[in-house]
Structure formats: C-alpha cells, structure tokens
Structure 1
Amino acid sequence: MPPVRPTRRSLMAGGLAAAAAVSLPAPAYASASGPVRLRLAGPTGPFAVGAVELHLVDRSRTDPWSGRPRELMATVVYPAVDVRDRPRLPWLPPGAERALKARYGGALDGYAMPLTHGADGAPVRPGRYPVLLYSPGAASDRTFNTLVVEELVSWGYAVVTVDHPYDSGEVEFPDGRVVLSVGEDSEEEVVAAVAVRAADLRFVLDHLTGPAWGGAPGPGRRRRPRGLRGALDPTRVGAFGHSRGGAAAAALMDLDDRVRAGADLDGTVFGPVVGRGLDRPFLLMDTAEHDGLAKDPHWPEFWRNLRGWRRCLRLADAGHLSFSDIVALAPQLPPGLPLQVGTVPADRAVAAVRAVVRAFFDLQLRGRPDTGLLLRGASARHPEIGYVAG
C-alpha cells in the first residue's frame, strides 16, 4: 500500500451491463488463530482470467539507479480457458509482501495479502484482444489495480501490468531479490523517473509485439502460454495508470504513436508532453481534493494542449487511493489506518472506476458508443462519476 498522507507530493508522484456494483468482502480482523486473508472481488465479465509473469531485461538501456541493464517485471493478464485446478497468482509474491509489511511497521502482520483471480499460465482463450499497458503509482506495485485489470480482461482485453524497479514499491525478481522504491526529493527527479517509466512501457510493448517474444520461458523457466502473442492486437493499444502511472501513460503516448488512447487516474503529468500535448484521445480522472484543472501544477497546460478527444471526470467523495485496490482492502483492515480512500463506499468506487475505464477504451479502441452516458458524467447507474470538462 502506497504512502498514506494525501499530500501535494503524493499527487505529483503519483457494455455497461458489467457496471453493476460489485460485492466486496465484509471487514475482517486479525486474530490469534492465524493471519487473515484479505480478498478482492472477482471480475464481472464472461471470460475467465489467465496471467503469466515476465522477467525482462532491456540491454539497450542502463538503469539510472543500479548502473546495470534495465531489468523489469511485468504480468500479462489475458482472457483464458480451462482455469480449473490452476493456482492463482498472488497479489504480491512472498518477498514483496514481507517488504510491504515491513514498510508498515507491523500494522499488517496479522494479514495475508489477497490472491488475484488470474490462473497462472492458463491456456489463452482464442481471439484477438486489444492490449492495454498499466503503470502503477509511485511506491505502488503493478498488482495494485488488479480489480480494474481483471475486469477489463474478463470483457476481452489483454492487460500488461509493469513494475518499475526503484520507483515501484517492492519489486521481486525470480531469484528472490526485492528492489524497493528509493523516492525522489525534487520535481526534476520525478520528471526523470516518469521518463524511465515511459521507456519501460515502450520496451515492454516492443517485446510483446516484436520478434523478441518468440517462445522464451518466463520466471522459473516455464514456457509462456501457447498462442498468447497471437492474441495480442498491436493495432489496438492503449495505456493507463494511477498517480505517477498516469503520467507515464501520457509520456508513453508522446513517445509512441502505436498507443492510440490513454487514461490518467488522479496523477500529475510531467515532462515534455505537458507542453506538446497529444493528438489522440486522453481521459483524466480526479477527486475534489485534487481538483486537477484548477489546482494541479501541470494539468491546466496539459489540458490546453490536448488536441484529440479529451474528458475530465471526477469520482465523488474519493481519496487518491480510491482508484486502486486499496479502497477495497481498507474496509478489511483495522480501523484507523490513514489510507487515502475518502468516504465513497468501496463497492461503489470499484464499480465506478471499472466502468469508466472500460467505457473509455471500448469507445476509443473498439468503437463502441458510450450509451450509458458514463463518459459524460450523467450515468444513472454510477452517480459517483461527475463531469468536469470535455
């Protein structure tokens, strides 16, 4: 779980039938009988979810923190078949989970992090799926938006979540190494970190759609699911992220015309894209506290320079982490943890964010109209989503 105070710096760092409210687990409290397993609601779409982890090394770039070739972890989450009897990937692998608990000084020691609904290495469901790249917030991990990612996959997207070592919270590699976030002290350092993220995402996209994919094994030397590369449609690519990950999505679009649409969930935008803008569709979402077009240091200029379809929406009564899995995990944890989830009910927040992200990419990558008026902030099913500008 990312930093817990809603500061300006944390913001800077940082069809529609499926949109019915999800049922989230009731609060659970740790006991002497053993750790309490936190849970995440399953996706609502018709397709099962498969997942495979990738350990990638970009030997063309030097990691600015380690001085070695840039090394990444990613997960491809995809529509699957025959998921029975397959293990589900954990929300965090063991070493990363221990590191997260250490960051919270024992407050989470009575809890086990959730399992995802991604069946490890399940066969790919035949089809050709739009590809979405996801980047997490600063000091967050690639699994921290599992609720949205799995929802998209269950409705026919392939989503690639990417960790950015030394910027993401705790990144565990197959050999057991865990790399922690180092943080930044200045906006200049944040701008540089966002540029690294954009290059990471571009490298992952190159790997998934180019000849480098091949049949190379992933972590543990297991072969990747047969047919996965052919299921990824390189002509329909989008990118989205939470907090700093939203900035990375915008920066990637500035670098790579293959990315046709992007979304930023409550994150300040950094770097050259602020002044250059974009000529392709881009969605901004914020909270009343952030009020990006009025208070954010960079949103107003970025907004003026957006030349394609654009929209700014707001999640009512939300906090910065209401766009992530933290909003669903917070009610299962002891009262009093200062998590930035606002007062919006967790199930309403999850359903609304899932629905907006899906409606946006359905419109931009699949040409499906926004019949529920969600992208106009006029959805009767999701009154938590309000229109700010467009």
Structure 2
Amino acid sequence: MAININDIDLSQYPYLDKGLEGIVAFSSRKSKIDGAKGELSYAGYDIDTLARNSTFEEVCFLLWHERLPNKQELDELNATLTAERDLPETVLNYLRSANPKSEPMAVLRTAVSMLADDDEEVLEMSHEASLRKSIRLTAKTPTIIAAFDRVRNGKEIVAPSKKNSIAFDFLYMLNGEEPGENATRTMDVLLITHAEHGMNASTFTCRSICATLADVHAAVTGAIGSLKGPLHGGANTAVMNMLKSLDPDTDIVAFIKGKLERKEKIMGFGHRVYKTYDPRAKFLRLLAQDLSKEVDMEYLYEWSEAIVKVMKEEKNIDPNVDFFSATVYYSMGIEPDLYTAIFAMARMSGWTAHYLEQLGNNRLIRPRLLYLGETDLEYFPVESRS
C-alpha cells in the first residue's frame, strides 16, 4: 500500500519543504538579497550603484575576487578577456552545422560543453586554474551566441574585434558593425544586472555539480540547462512575444484584465524572493523608456507602464528584471529567442564565482528524500502479471 504523508512522523524530516523554500543550503560572499526591502548587492555593492557607475568586466572581477579591481588589475583582466574570445575550430564547425531552427540555449549548452575538449586545464581543480577557466568561459560565451545567430540567419560569422568591452564586441559580432556608445552602455548595464542573483535554480545546479568535484565546464553546462527551463530563464522572451503578438492600437488594459480574468499568467511579474519592486528593474525601466523613444517604439514602453499599473492594482505584484529587459533588448533589435542566452552570457560570471567559492569549502550535496510510494509489494513472474 502507498504511504500517506499524514501517517509519517515528520520530526525526522525537520527541514521538509517543497521547492526548498526558506532552506539555507549554502553560505556565500557573492551577493545579498533582501526580498522584503527589494535590495540586491554584489559583494557589498548595491546593484543600482554598480549599474550606474561600473562596467561588466569590473563586476566579473568583483564576483570572482569579492572586491573591485584597481586599474592595473582591471587592465589585465580586460586584456585576458579580449585575448580569450576566439573559439576552437571544433566549436565553430559545430555552430556552422547546427540546425538553424534549434533553440539558442540548446546550442549554447552543447557548445559550452564542447569547450572542455580544447581546454588543457579542464581537469586541473586548483583555484588558480579554475579562475583561468572561468575567465575563458566568460570570454567565449558571447562569441558562441553571436556566431550561432549569424549562422542561423544565413550570415557569415564575425570574428571578435578584440578592441573593446564584452558588451561592445558582442554587439559587433552579432550585427557585423560597431555599436554606438549608447547601445554598448545599455548592453553593459544589462550584463551587470543579470550577472549574479544568489541561490537561484541554475546557481544551485552549478554548485551541486561542483560539489562532486566535476570540472567547471560540466558545472556551467548544467547551469545553462537549468536556466533553459521556462520557470527560471525565458520570462523576458515570453513578455516580448506577448507584446509582439498585439496590434499597436490594442487596448492593453482590457487585454491584461482579460488574461487575469481567465487566470492566465502574466510573465515578468512577481518573484520567489522579492516581495516588492525588483531592484534590478528600476534602472532598466529608465533604459526602456529612453530606448523606446530613440527607436520610435514608444508604444512598447507605454504598454509596459500600463501593464505595471494594472498588475499592481489587480494583483498587488510588481515587475521583475525580465519585464523591462524585454523592451530594452527588443529596442536594440535583438530577437526574443536570444534573451535567455544573453542572460546566460551575463550569469556565466556569477556561476563561475559560485563554483570557485564552492570549491574552496566543498562538501558533497546530499539531501534526504521522503519516499511516498508503495511498500512490501509481492513480486510475481512476468508471465503471471495481468
């Protein structure tokens, strides 16, 4: 007979909680989230301060070292990141032969895993070697995403220019022309705001894989697989696909209220941790407003503001980082199915930072399982089973 959970002495399972909500699995110095206040900081620095003043490369250093770099350290990191942007020929060949209809996240997952084959330090588990591999992974991920997008659209792959930031080179490789200062800065801010976010599903996956002492390529490949799921990454893609499906003269308020009446989910709202406005969304909201004006798509921003108002009035929930980032990406001419891959491009710095932290104080992840299936069943030969 099956076990009834009501008949179990749960005192032997004191931390049983579906989805591990409220369970502390790790300690970390990488980021701090205060969901009640709507605050996020990276290694002590408020996310809004970093978004307004820092660069993605500085944030990478901060996450890996838990302090901001001096000028010499930043110059050295920039030089290394620039030098490491090229892809092995095996990976380029895979991108050229991949099904152009494949999901970018699926291709990214495979290509990142393939990078291990050409990394001479792949099995070196020291902190120093793992940091070097982390830098290489962070440098090469933008090249993978841009190269596949070019190939699937029948265009030649554009090699990295190797003369500017990750944000600059990504847009250059994606579009085949040098981006302007505003576009580069906007992409930089997007990367900063997506770089790290505590113990989310993909970071938990990364640390769990690291805990087995698997290499960093294996850990971040698993993290990409986790982010690929629509309940983790992909909300901004869903937001943009919803907005794209509407006619410009749509009554957006009536449309959203209709979806709510039908109990349909509005993506980009609410968060498992934040009980108020997502701090990452505040600065992106301003970017969305400015960019929509610049590219004559102001109606998208106006729709977004109207949706925010309806959701607050009807459900008392606020937008998360995905909601306004959708408008920002689209205003930059980036197709929705690339959004989650760009999320992964930014989060590579956070995943590898957590990998390094786990490696420094490791213990195998082994939670308990509460069995609720049948017990004491009698075994019958296959011939006598009905």
TM-score (norm 1): 0.26
Q: Which has the higher contact order (CA 8 A, sep 6+)?
A: 2
TM-score (norm 2): 0.26
Higher share of residues assigned helix? 2
